[in-house]
């Protein structure tokens, strides 16, 4: 048995179930779950139609690289969205079965365990897949605390040189989970320059890139930042997904794109890994990447919720409208676990304690005294939850 499995910690939602064990929520209220970032808006009909109309594809084995039509649709979307020259769909793009499994598998490809004590840098709080991927690739996670005091930035320039020399991979999440913070061009410039100096790969997790509140100012992407800085995509790979953008979390469809040498090796790995995308899902994905109307409507629904809920919660929590994504990262004077229990027990509202999304690093757990609320429930439920919380 792989001994590194013993390093994996329980997933946040398992810890939440354990926290609530034996607690009966107040039956006077209907249950409202804001704990998990699972989109609840309706799946667009055009995607469902494309899926159903292409079920004949189930009769064929899919290829690891997916259809050329899908890779071209993704390349065209990247160009439209980020204003960068078209990526070669043959060599720079690989469809994946959701960004989660790709983010995990990526570390297995990048980490060279023959070199002593490899390091994977991650934001803290973070998506727990980053940590698990590091451990199972034989690397040591190094956490960069992202705090309100530093505008939730990773500040990779503060990592000790002896750690940077051992760093082989840096996970970057922008827009961030849970803060919703978007990386600036200056911050990308710093990470790129350190990658040039120390040779580490950058995994840019952009699964929340299409949920934002100003149609005139979409979040800056990693490929876009590199292009603006006059760079190529050496050591840079982005991870994107349809789950949040198009409300299809069960379809498991996304892509990786960027450095062609890395994509080549990642494709080789995945050929053995057996993660080819279902042909019907490929057809539905083409329909999704080619349409923006449903994405604009999706953003409108989220914006309507955030614009009402955020001001209501300011009476009881330290909370601001995020740059992007669908989370509110709210600070409280109470313990985050105690507050989560209180909300569940007294108001039948489920939120995620911030400390469950982070690790103690550099003398503190940066998630303590925060709760994460995913505004994925209906508009009425989100407003109802905010109104109930006035009593906390």
Cα dihedral sign, 77-78-84-87: negative
Structure tokens at 98: 């959701």
Query: In a 3-state reduction of DSSP, which class is residue 200?
Result: coil
- The residue ranges of every structural domain in the chain are 3-42+294-391, 63-262
The per-residue pLDDT for 10 is 95
pLDDT (0 to 100) of residue 274: 87
The pTM of the full predicted model, rounded to 2 decimals, is 0.97
User: What distance, in Å, lies between the first and last C-alpha atoms of the chain?
Assistant: 47
**What pLDDT is attached to residue 391?**
78
| pLDDT score for 242 | 98
CA dihedral 170, 255, 99, 190 (to 10 degrees): 20
Phi first, then psi, for residue 87 (nearest 5°) are: -80, 145
C-alpha span between 296 and 313 (Å, rounded)? 26
**Domain 3-42+294-391, CATH among 3.40.50.1400, 3.90.1150.10, 1.10.3720.10, 3.40.50.300:** 3.90.1150.10
Q: What is the pLDDT along the chain (392 residues), one digit of tens a residue?
A: 999 999 999 999 999 999 999 999 999 999 999 999 999 999 999 999 999 999 999 999 999 999 999 999 999 999 999 999 999 999 999 999 999 999 999 999 999 999 999 999 999 999 999 999 999 999 999 999 999 999 999 999 999 999 999 999 999 999 999 999 999 999 999 999 999 999 999 999 999 999 999 999 999 999 999 999 999 999 999 999 999 999 999 999 999 999 999 999 999 999 998 889 999 999 999 999 999 999 999 999 999 999 999 999 999 999 999 999 999 999 999 999 999 999 999 999 999 999 999 999 999 999 999 999 999 999 999 999 999 999 78
Do 340 and 98 meet the contact criterion of CB atoms below 8 Å apart? no
Q: What is the pLDDT of residue 392?
A: 83
The CATH code of the domain at 63-262 is 3.40.640.10
Residue pair 392/339 in contact (Cβ under 8 Å)? The answer is: yes
């Amino acid at each position: 048995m792989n001994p590194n499995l013993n390093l994996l910690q329980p997933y946040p939602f398992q810890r939440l179930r354990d926290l609530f064990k034996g607690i009966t929520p107040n039956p006077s209220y209907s249950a409202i779950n804001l704990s998990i970032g699972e989109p609840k808006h309706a799946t667009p009909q055009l995607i469902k139609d494309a899926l159903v109309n292409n079920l004949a594809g189930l009769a064929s084995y899919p290829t690891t690289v997916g259809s050329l039509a899908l890779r071209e649709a993704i390349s065209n979307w990247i160009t439209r969205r980020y204003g960068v020259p078209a990526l070669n769909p043959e060599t720079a793009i690989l469809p994946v079965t959701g960004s989660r499994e790709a983010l995990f598998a990526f570390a297995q490809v990048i980490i060279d365990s023959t070199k002593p004590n490899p390091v994977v840098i991650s934001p803290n709080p973070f998506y727990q897949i980053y940590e698990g991927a590091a451990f199972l690739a034989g690397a040591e996670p190094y956490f960069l605390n992202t705090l309100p005091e530093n505008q939730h930035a990773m500040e990779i320039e503060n990592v000790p040189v002896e750690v940077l020399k051992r760093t082989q991979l840096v996970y970057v999440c922008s827009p961030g989970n849970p803060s919703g913070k978007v990386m600036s061009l200056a911050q990308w410039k710093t990470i790129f320059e350190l990658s040039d100096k120390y040779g580490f790969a950058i995994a840019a997790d952009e699964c929340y890139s299409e949920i934002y509140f100003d149609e005139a100012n979409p979040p800056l992407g990693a490929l876009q930042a590199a292009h603006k800085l006059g760079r190529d995509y050496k050591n840079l790979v982005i991870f994107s997904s349809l789950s949040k953008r198009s409300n299809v979390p069960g379809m498991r469809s996304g892509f990786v794109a960027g450095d062609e040498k890395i994509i080549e090796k990642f494709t080789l790995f995945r050929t053995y890994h057996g993660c080819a995308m279902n042909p019907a899902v490929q057809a539905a994905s083409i329909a999704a990447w080619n349409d923006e109307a449903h994405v604009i409507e999706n953003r409108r629904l989220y914006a309507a919720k955030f614009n009402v809920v955020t001001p209501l919660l300011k009476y009881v929590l330290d909370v601001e409208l995020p740059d992007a994504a669908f989370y509110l990262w709210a600070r409280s004077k109470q313990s985050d676990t105690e507050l989560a229990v209180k909300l569940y027990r007294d108001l039948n509202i489920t939120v995620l304690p911030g400390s469950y999304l982070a690790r103690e690093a550099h003398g503190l757990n940066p998630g303590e005294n925060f709760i994460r609320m995913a505004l994925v429930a209906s508009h009425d439920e989100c407003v109802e939850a905010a109104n109930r919380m006035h009593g906390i």
